[in-house]
C-alpha cells in the first residue's frame, strides 16, 4: 500500500520526499490496516467461551459504546456512540464482548445503516435471545468536511429484532434507558 500512497501524494502535487512526508506512506498504510482490521477479526474468536448459561430474562444494556469507522463511499471517518441491548432467553454474553463485536464490524468500510444491523444480527445469532436492539448516533465527516458541509448534523440508526420490534413497551424501555 505504501507505494500507492506515495503515488497519491505525487498526483496531489506533493513532494513525498519532503521532510514531513517521508514516512507518511508507511504511517497511512499502518493506519488503514488498523482502521480496517475488522476484516481480519473473527466474532467466534472474540467471543471465545464467554457465553454463559444464566437464568435471567430482563434487558441487558451496554450503552454509549464509542464507534469509529470509515465511510465506504469516501473512506472518510464517521464516529459516534452505539447502544446495544438484548433480552436473554437462557444465555448471556460477557459484557466486554459487546463492544468488541461493535469493533469487529465498525473496523471495516461501512455505512452506518448496515453496521447497525450487522451488530444486532450478530448478537441474535450468538444468543438466540428474546430480542436485540441497537441504536447508533454518528457524525459523518464526509458530510461535515465536504459535500453539504453540515458540521453539526448527526445520523441516528436503529435495528430492532424480536421483542424490541414486536413490543412497543419493550422498545420504549430500551429507548428511555439509553437516552
Q: What is the pLDDT along the chain (179 residues), one digit of tens a residue?
A: 999 999 999 999 999 999 999 999 999 999 999 999 999 999 999 999 999 999 999 999 999 999 999 999 999 999 999 999 999 999 999 999 999 999 999 999 999 999 999 999 999 999 999 999 999 999 999 999 988 888 889 999 999 999 999 999 999 999 999 99
Mark whether 95 and 123 lie in a shared domain. Answer: yes
pLDDT number for residue 5:
96
Position 40 in a domain: no
The predicted-structure confidence for 59-109, as pLDDT tens digits, reads as follows 999 999 999 999 999 999 999 999 999 999 999 999 999 999 999 999 999
74 is catalytic: yes
* pTM for this model (two decimals): 0.95
Catalytic entry in 14, 74, 121, 173: 74
Annotated active-site residue 140? The verdict is: yes
| Cα–Cα distance, 6 to 4 (Å, whole number) | 5
Same domain flag for 132 and 66: yes
d(CA 1, CA 175) in angstroms, rounded, equals: 43
Q: Is residue 87 part of a domain?
A: yes
* Marked catalytic residue, from 82, 110, 118, 140: 140
Q: Is 112 a catalytic residue?
A: yes
Mutual angle of helices 2-11 and 24-35, in 10-degree steps: 120
Number of domains in the chain: 2
Catalytic residue, chosen from 17, 26, 73, 151, is 73
Domain of 87 in residue numbering reads as 49-178
Asked whether residue 56 falls in the same domain as residue 142, the answer is yes
Contacts of 101 (CB under 8 A, 6+ apart): 43, 46, 47, 84, 119, 122, 123
Amino acid at each position: 500500500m505504501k507505494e500507492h500512497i506515495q503515488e497519491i501524494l505525487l498526483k496531489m502535487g506533493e513532494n513525498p520526499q519532503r521532510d514531513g512526508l517521508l514516512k507518511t506512506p508507511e504511517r497511512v498504510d499502518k493506519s488503514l490496516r488498523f482502521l480496517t482490521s475488522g476484516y481480519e477479526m473473527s466474532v467466534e474468536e472474540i467471543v471465545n467461551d464467554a457465553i454463559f448459561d444464566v437464568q435471567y430474562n430482563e434487558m441487558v444494556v451496554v450503552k454509549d459504546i464509542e464507534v469509529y469507522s470509515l465511510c465506504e463511499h469516501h473512506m472518510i471517518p464517521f464516529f459516534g456512540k452505539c447502544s446495544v441491548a438484548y433480552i436473554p432467553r437462557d444465555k448471556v454474553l460477557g459484557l466486554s464482548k459487546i463492544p468488541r463485536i461493535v469493533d469487529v464490524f465498525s473496523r471495516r468500510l461501512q455505512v452506518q445503516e448496515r453496521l447497525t444491523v450487522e451488530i444486532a444480527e450478530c448478537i441474535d445469532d450468538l444468543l438466540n435471545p428474546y430480542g436485540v436492539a441497537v441504536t447508533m448516533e454518528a457524525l459523518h465527516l464526509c458530510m461535515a468536511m465536504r459535500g453539504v458541509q453540515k458540521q453539526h448534523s448527526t445520523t441516528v440508526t436503529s435495528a430492532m429484532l424480536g421483542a424490541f420490534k414486536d413490543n412497543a413497551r419493550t422498545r420504549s424501555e430500551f429507548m428511555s434507558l439509553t437516552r
